[in-house]
């Protein structure tokens, strides 16, 4: 069954069709969630919450051709909500940060430090700027696709991208940080 037919069936209440759609998107959903959470457990929680919310509300999807955009938007909202909740959590004395910055078996040495610097700089961006950077460079979406996912005009996406890149450029220079 092709994706468009599966979306139409899912909208009409076919759970098997919805499960098939999610199965084809699960790796991409995880990558987006991981780029926000930066650890496996939180990323899985975010994906689970997003899939649940999508399943509950799939009947309200009006244009089946925008299923991927709609699902990505739900995932981003869940990721942002998760991060906001995590910020409000009081950390105990033994806890540091919000988990590993790279997957186990990933980069080592100076490459690992560069990745940590990049994630640190991304963490200091506000949510909207970080979202545009993640969608553009981590997930290779076009400006038009980002605009559709975020429900913003393309010009707004360009502005956020430009400002985020400026902030990252300043932040990633040795010894400087985003204020």
Q: What is the pLDDT of residues 108-145, one digit of tens each?
A: 456 767 777 777 888 888 989 999 998 888 888 899 99
7: left (phi over 0), alpha (psi -120 to 50) or beta: alpha
* 79 pLDDT above the threshold of 70: yes
CATH of 109-179, one of 1.10.10.10, 1.10.1380.10, 2.40.128.120, 1.10.1200.10: 1.10.10.10
* 19 pLDDT above the threshold of 90: yes
Phi then psi dihedrals of residue 40, to 5 deg: -60, -45
Whether domain 1-100 has CATH 1.10.1740.10: yes
**Domain map (residue ranges) of the chain:** 1-100, 109-179
- 98 neighbors 39 (Cβ within 8 angstroms): yes
- Round to whole Å and give the CA distance between 78 and 173: 32
- Round to whole Å and give the CA distance between 118 and 133: 11
- Round to whole Å and give the CA distance between 61 and 65: 10
Q: 140 in helix, strand or coil?
A: coil
- pTM across the whole model: 0.67
């Amino acid at each position: 069954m092709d994706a468009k037919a599966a979306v139409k069936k899912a909208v009409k209440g076919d759970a098997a069709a919805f499960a098939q759609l999610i199965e084809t998107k699960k790796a991409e959903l995880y990558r987006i969630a991981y780029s926000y959470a930066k650890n496996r457990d939180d990323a899985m929680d975010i994906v689970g919450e997003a899939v649940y919310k999508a399943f509950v509300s799939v009947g309200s999807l009006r244009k089946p051709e925008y299923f991927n955009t709609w699902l990505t938007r739900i995932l981003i909202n869940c990721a942002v909500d998760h991060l906001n909740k995590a910020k409000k959590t009081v950390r105990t004395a033994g806890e540091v940060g919000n988990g590993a910055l790279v997957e186990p078996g990933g980069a080592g040495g100076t490459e690992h430090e560069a990745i940590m610097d990049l994630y640190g700089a991304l963490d200091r961006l506000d949510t909207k700027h970080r979202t545009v950077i993640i969608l553009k460079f981590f997930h290779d979406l076009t400006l038009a696709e980002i605009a559709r996912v975020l429900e913003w005009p393309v010009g707004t996406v360009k502005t956020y991208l430009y400002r985020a890149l400026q902030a990252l450029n300043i932040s990633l220079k040795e010894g400087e940080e985003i204020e």
